[in-house]
Amino acid sequence: MLANLTGWHMVIILAIVLLLFGAPKLPGLARSVGQSMRIFKSEVKTLKDDDSTDAPDPTAGPAHPGAPVAEPIPLPTRASTRI
Q: Indicate the DSSP class of residue 33.
A: H
pLDDT digits (tens, 9 = 90+) for 12-58: 988 888 888 887 888 888 899 899 999 999 999 998 888 777 655 55
Query: Is the model's pLDDT at 62 over the cut of 60?
Result: no
Taking each continuous run of H as one helix and of E as one strand, the counts in the chain are: 3, 0
**CB burial class (10 A; 0-12, 13-18, 19+) of residue 9?**
exposed
**CB burial class (10 A; 0-12, 13-18, 19+) of residue 30?**
exposed
| Residue 74: its H or E element | none
- Domain boundaries defined on the chain: 25-54
Q: Please, are residues 56 and 63 in contact by the beta-carbon 8 Å criterion?
A: yes
